[in-house]
């Protein structure tokens, strides 16, 4: 029975040391995953200004062809629809940005109290 007591005592002494060393490891931020870098580059190249200009040109040209193209055969019409949809997809991030859904914006408490303090003047101070 004394051997069992010794094991229990050793576990009870080692547990706080192990738990204390685990907390900093859990709190530290790990490195990024290996595929995040290339995906970030692809996202930046797709959502950049060049892609926006290409999307705008594709939508304008495809729309013009569909409106003023007259009699287009089925293949040409489908090709113009594909170009039109590809242009819209390339410009989708810009379209979403126009609606204001680009991300969350959370101010610091100082900014919040400043804006509250400025709004206390009411509309009488503005005219």
Residue 1's pLDDT band (cuts 50, 70, 90):
low
62, 84 Cβ separation under 8 angstroms: yes
Whether 13 is in a domain gets the answer: no
11, part of any domain: no
> What's the CA gap between 9 and 6, in Å, rounded?
5
7 to 11, 20, 24: CA distances (angstroms):
6, 20, 27
Per-residue confidence at 24, pLDDT binned at 50, 70, 90?
low
pLDDT in tens, 48-84: 777 778 778 888 888 888 788 777 788 888 888 888 8
Q: Determine how many CB atoms are found less than 10 A away from the CB of residue 80.
A: 19
Q: Which residues of 9-21 are buried (b: 16+ CB within 10 A; e: fewer)?
A: eeeeeeeeeeeee
- Average per-residue pLDDT in the chain? 72
With respect to residue 79, please indicate whether it lies within any of the assigned structural domains: yes
89 is a domain residue: yes
Q: 77: domain range?
A: 70-97
Q: Say if 91 falls within a structural domain.
A: yes
pLDDT of residue 109: 57
Residue 76 lies inside a defined structural domain of this protein = yes
Tally of domains within the chain: 1
Domain annotation covers residue 114: no
E-strand ranges in the chain read none
Q: Any idea which of 34-48, 54-68, 93-107 has the lowest mean pLDDT?
A: 93-107
User: What pLDDT does 44 receive?
Assistant: 79
Is the residue at 83 inside a domain?
A: yes
pTM > 0.75: no
């Amino acid at each position: 029975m004394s051997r069992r007591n010794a094991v229990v005592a050793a576990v009870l002494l080692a547990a706080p040391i192990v738990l204390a060393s685990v907390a900093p490891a859990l709190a530290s931020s790990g490195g990024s995953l290996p595929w995040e870098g290339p995906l970030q580059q692809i996202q930046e190249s797709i959502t950049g200004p060049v892609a926006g200009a290409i999307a705008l040109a594709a939508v304008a040209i495809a729309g013009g062809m569909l409106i003023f193209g007259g009699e287009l055969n089925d293949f040409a019409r489908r090709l113009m629809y594909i170009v039109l949809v590809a242009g819209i997809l390339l410009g989708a991030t810009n379209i979403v940005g126009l609606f204001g859904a680009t991300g969350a914006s959370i101010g610091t408490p100082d900014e919040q109290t400043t804006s509250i303090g400025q709004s206390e003047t009411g509309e009488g101070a503005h005219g």
